[in-house]
Amino acid sequence: MRVLLIEDDAILGPAVRDQIAADGHSVDWVTRLDNAADHLRAASYDLILLDLMLPDGRGVPFLRALRKRGDVTPVIIMTALDQISDRIEGLNAGADDYMVKPFDLSELSARLNAVARRYSGNPNPLIEIGALEIDLAARGIWREGRKVQLTAREWVLFECFVQRPGQLMSKAQLEERLYALSDDVESNTIEVHVSRLRKKLGHDAIETVRGMGYRLGPAQGAAS
């Protein structure tokens, strides 16, 4: 999952960024709303963590503008504003969750994963796709009862497919996710990792649509 963190606190920002990365997600951290807007124009994000008081403005109008233009990216507000009226304003503006500082980083991880599952159509972190059993919260995969070990890059790609069952993902879209994790992405990186995923998860786990991209294989498309 790719996360945009909008937070100007010089202590909390790096701590949240490192927590998200340790959870296996890619994260871009910005400290201003104008920089956040530039990132949203340039890339696709799965979730936004938004502070309400930034050097160049307030987060609530920024969030309202996102929703007004049809952007449905899930947003979790992180703020020191703890009045009920502040919570109501943030949620009514389109936030999916509201966390008051200071908060425990492990709770942030849990809420982030819960929102991500809700938007991906998998409210239960334990799902079955074909012969695979997947724990989205723990990032664990079992194939016919045996644990499958994925690298960080392999999980990022597989998560893209799981969150969009049946949806075609272009090579460029998948490369963008890997770029968020590392700058070391070669021209054949996607092909190499898809091949490795097939060896670990089954040949039919990922389908190639020539000239267009990849998606979960036909046998993997329905979760039980």
Per-residue pLDDT of the chain (224 residues; tens, 9 = 90+): 889 999 999 999 999 999 998 887 889 999 999 999 999 998 888 899 999 999 999 999 999 999 998 888 899 999 999 899 999 999 999 998 999 999 999 999 988 888 877 766 555 567 788 888 888 767 789 998 899 998 888 888 888 888 777 788 888 888 877 776 665 667 788 899 999 999 999 988 899 998 889 988 765 554 44
Which residue blocks in 149-203 are alpha helix, DSSP H? Answer: 152-163, 171-181, 189-201
CATH number of 2-120: 3.40.50.2300
- pLDDT score, position 79: 93
- pLDDT score, position 224: 42
The rounded distance, in Å, linking the Cα atoms of 115 and 136 is: 12
**What are 51's two structure tokens?**
């502070």
Domain 2-120 identical in fold to domain 126-220 = no
| Amino acid in the structure at residue 209 | V
Strands (E), the chain: 2-6, 26-30, 47-51, 53-54, 57-58, 75-79, 97-100, 126-129, 132-135, 140-143, 146-148, 206-209, 213-216
DSSP 220: G
Where do the domains of the chain lie? 2-120, 126-220
DSSP 125: S
pTM of structure: 0.63
- pLDDT score, position 122: 54
> Which residues lie closer than 8 Å to 14 by C-beta, 6 or more apart?
29
Task: Name which of 18, 50, 47 is nearest 31 in CA terms.
Answer: 50
Helices 171-181 and 189-201, axial angle in degrees (round to 10) = 90
> Looking at domain 126-220, which CATH architecture does it have?
Orthogonal Bundle (1.10)
126: β partners:
135
- pLDDT score, position 8: 96
